[in-house]
Chains A and B, each alone.
Chain A
Amino acid sequence: METILLTGNPNVGKSAVFSRITGTDVISSNYPGTTVTLTKGSVKFAGRAFSVVDVPGTYCLEPSCRAEEISCAAINDGDAVLYVHVLDSTALERNLFFALELLELNKPVIFALNKYDIARRHGIAINAGLLAEKLGAPVVPFVAVTGEGITELKREIEKAVSGAQTAAREKIPDGEKWNRIGEISRAAQTIRHKHPSAWEELEELSIRPATGLPLAGLVLLLGFAGVRFCAEGLINFALDPLYAKFYLPAVTGALSFLPDGTIRTVLLGAQSSDFGLLTQAVHIALIEVFSYVLAFYCFLSLLEDTGYLARVAVLLDRVMHKVGLHGIGSIPVIMGMGCKIPGILAARVLETRRERLIALALTLLLTPCISQSALIVGALGKMGMRYVLTVFAVLAAFGLVAAAALAKMTKGNAAEIFLEIPPYRWPVWIMFFSKLRLRVKEYVAEAVPMIMAGILIISVAEATGIVAVAVKLFAWPVTHILGLPAETVPVIALGFMRKDIAVALLLPFNLSGGQLVIASVFLSMYMPCAATLLIMLREAGARDTALIVVLNLTAAVTAGALLNIFYTLL
């Protein structure tokens, strides 16, 4: 299939243009580096099928960092029949360097002048006709978020792919490119200067440490309180009543023909302490965890789309240097608060193996994933918020100590931050919900079957006597080091499949608050879950994965043992 490449600087809205052209949901945010892999979609133009590839943003054809390597390789590959190059109208000049370089490849190029509406509101007027003339390629004003200009863009693509090859273009030496850029923008762009808006004032206040750090603390505090409030509200006032009034009677009624026995127990759960696949498992997966996943990703998407997350990365730069990372290292960690898998993928943008290793360790240890957090809050919240806070504080402390130790053990200095900070923007709701839908869909598609499988496995293991063997094998460390009953061994082992379900399965043991704290901390740290482990093997290789697993296990046993001593003395 012929290929059309979608290129541009970071954060110009390529992913949004991509979803307009191909009609596919993609994750786009308001900070550079959201797209770390090539996203492909297929579309028909002029009766032929084309593969449209969304290339992660880069500043030029030569990679200056790891994140740009994939992009530059794809662009220089020479296979593409057409480049659709996205320009940010609000910062035309800084986009033109790459545009000029791309033209020198002597391939057909169409420029999409994205964010045309925002530019106009900011008093920037760009004459697309004149710009096209200066660049020697078609220029289409475009508003990816509303789709304004899509008909025109598609028409230009059809024209370009049905012939009309571009003439050889002159090469401009690097040193002269900026003179040329000045010339082009003077001709095609007029800027009416305006007073700095309230947004711009806020932009500066939120990045200066003196005002920015307290603000960040407030935002995160309110954010997490908001996540809890929304999730609990959704559970208590909407989903729980629906479950109790409609779902449960319907499912037990429909299966009332089942005789008492193993199948009935597995599906419906015999007593309240059992986990029926269609009852408690559904409740955990689609009510308790689902609500937190939804609320957390709303909050995270807001942070991303407004451009605030990039500022958090800059504000945390100093702190991150203490563990051998720079500010960007905080992005995988924050993503990992939702799910460790996107967190691990986000660590790709870091330059060296050492930085990625530290970032992975920190991402895994610093907080539980949102699924596990939801059940920790649910289970321990009832016994007192101090237990919940203890879990999170102990995890954070061990995460930081482990990362700092790893930084000490491995030689090297942290690379320095080099980040373009996007302007603040209101989220574009259609993109916001498209991203939210994609993330929630991923959760439902991946987590729900895993939760079901986990419950099934534990039922089978119990029936076949595997549980009894496991209990015997690990009874000593679990009872003596962690202070937990030996019967929890299979549940802790199940944590390898799903940590959320493991926390839920601990509840029937009637553990004390302290024991639940120990179990939650241990479950969170001792191993990454199976899905995460697989992704990590792919991303970091066997050696680094093994190193991280050993680190995790050491941290988990140490934390568990110390907590056990603490609660015993209490």
Chain B
Amino acid sequence: MNKKTIPLSGLHSGASAVIHSVEGEGHVFARKLTVLGILPGKPVRKISGSAGGPIVFEIGGITLALGRNIAGRILVIPD
């Protein structure tokens, strides 16, 4: 893992980042992310996600809410 990459769940609310990679297996999961455009190189902005709740972020003009574990598998490089 690159030194600068952190999971999306660890990003501060309000901070922007660029997706580095997506960890984990599962064709369905990987495809769902691809379909939504959650791909390496795409910019994201975290809106909220603290204290055990879901992670809410903006990507490509849409707002998504993801469970913490899923969001933890998306690695980003903070801006």
Which A residues are within 8 Å of any B CB, using their own CB?
Answer: 59-60, 62, 64, 90-91, 93-94, 97-98, 174-175, 178, 181, 203-204, 207-210, 212, 314-315, 317-318, 321, 326-327, 415-421, 423
Contact = CB atoms under 8 A, between A and B. Distances in A.
Contact of B51 (A178, A209, A423): A209
A93 B61 contact: yes
B35 A97 contact: yes
Contacts of A415: 67
Given A97-B35, A209-B53, A421-B64, A64 B28 contact: yes
Interface in B27-78: 28-29, 31-32, 34-37, 39, 47-48, 50-54, 56, 60-70
Nearest to A328: B65
Contact of B47 (A93, A207, A318): A207
Task: Tell me if B's interface is mostly helix, strand, loop or mixed.
Answer: mixed
A419 B34 contact: no
Nearest to A416: B67
20 contacts: A94-B36, A94-B37, A94-B60, A94-B62, A97-B35, A174-B31, A204-B48, A207-B56, A207-B65, A210-B50, A314-B65, A321-B52, A327-B54, A416-B54, A416-B70, A418-B67, A419-B64, A419-B65, A420-B65, A421-B62
A91 B62 contact: yes
Contacts of B68: 416
Task: Tell me if A's interface is mostly helix, strand, loop or mixed.
Answer: helix
B16 interface: no
Given A94-B37, A318-B52, A318-B53, A417 B67 contact: yes
B35 A98 contact: yes
Contacts of B67: 317, 326, 415-418
Contacts of A207: 47-48, 56, 63, 65
Contact of A60 (B35, B65, B70): B35
Given A208-B47, A209-B50, A209-B53, A178 B66 contact: no
Contacts of A174: 31, 34
Given A91-B61, A209-B48, A209-B50, 12 more contacts: A60-B35, A98-B35, A174-B31, A175-B34, A207-B48, A208-B56, A318-B51, A416-B69, A418-B32, A418-B67, A418-B70, A421-B62
B67 to A, nearest CB: 2
B13 interface: yes
Given A62-B31, A209-B48, A318-B52, A203 B63 contact: yes
Contacts, number: 102
Question: Considering the complex of A and B, which 3 residue pairs feature the smallest CB-CB distances, nearest first?
Answer: A416-B67, A208-B48, A64-B32
A64 B32 CA distance: 6
Contacts of A97: 34-37
A420 B63 contact: yes
B65 A421 contact: yes
A314 B54 contact: yes
B66 A417 contact: yes
A421 B28 CA distance: 21
Contacts of A93: 37, 60-61
A94 B60 CA distance: 7
Nearest to A423: B63
B47 A204 contact: yes
B31 A64 contact: yes
Contacts of A318: 51-54
B43 to A, nearest CB: 13
Given A64-B28, A64-B32, A208-B48, A420 B62 contact: yes
A91 B62 CA distance: 7
Interface string B1-39: 000000000000100000000000000110110111101
Nearest to A92: B61
B30 to A, nearest CB: 10
Contacts of A314: 53-54, 56, 65
A454 B28 CA distance: 49
A208 B53 CA distance: 10
Contacts of A423: 63
B49 to A, nearest CB: 9
Contacts of A209: 48, 50-51, 53
A326 B66 CA distance: 10
A59 B39 CA distance: 16
Nearest to A315: B53
Contacts of A90: 61
Nearest to B61: A91
B68 to A, nearest CB: 7
A424 to B, nearest CB: 11
A383 B44 CA distance: 55
Contacts of B39: 178
A35 B64 CA distance: 20
Contacts of A212: 48
Nearest to A62: B31
Contacts of A315: 53
B21 to A, nearest CB: 14
A86 B20 CA distance: 32
Given A204-B48, A208-B13, A317 B53 contact: yes
For B34, B37, B62, which residue has the most chain A Cβ atoms within 10 angstroms?
A: B62
B63 A421 contact: yes
A178 B36 CA distance: 10
B34 A317 contact: no
B52 to A, nearest CB: 6
Nearest to B67: A416
Nearest to B59: A94
A421 B59 CA distance: 12
B57 to A, nearest CB: 10
Nearest to A90: B61
A462 to B, nearest CB: 54
Contact of A416 (B34, B56, B60, B66): B66
